[in-house]
Amino acid sequence: MPINYRVISNKKYMWDGKTYDNEGDALNVAATYKKDNFDVQLIHEEGKHFIYTRRVSVASTPAS
């Protein structure tokens, strides 16, 4: 079982809780997370694929 979070480049990523046997499936799910404004890291270990995500803050511009 993978760890619940990883620190990559000084940023904390949380595991999505799923183990993917197929890289294609993992890539499809990762693409969905990216569309929802998540920063995504795909990790390959022991023939399995794991997705770690972190939410990307979207800066809004103040109303003038």
Question: pTM for the complete prediction?
Answer: 0.84
The verdict on residue 50 lying in a domain is yes
19 in any annotated domain: yes
Residue 63 lies in a domain: no
Assigned domain for 62 exists:
no
**Alpha-carbon span 6 to 13, nearest angstrom:** 5
| Domains of the chain: total | 1
pLDDT of residue 60: 56
pLDDT at 33 over 80: yes
> For residue 39, is it within any domain?
yes
Q: Is residue 60 part of a domain?
A: no
Does 11 reside within a domain? yes
Beta-strand runs (E) in 1-64: 5-8, 11-20, 38-45, 48-55
Whether residue 34 lies inside any domain: the answer is: yes
What is the residue range of 36's domain?
A: 5-55
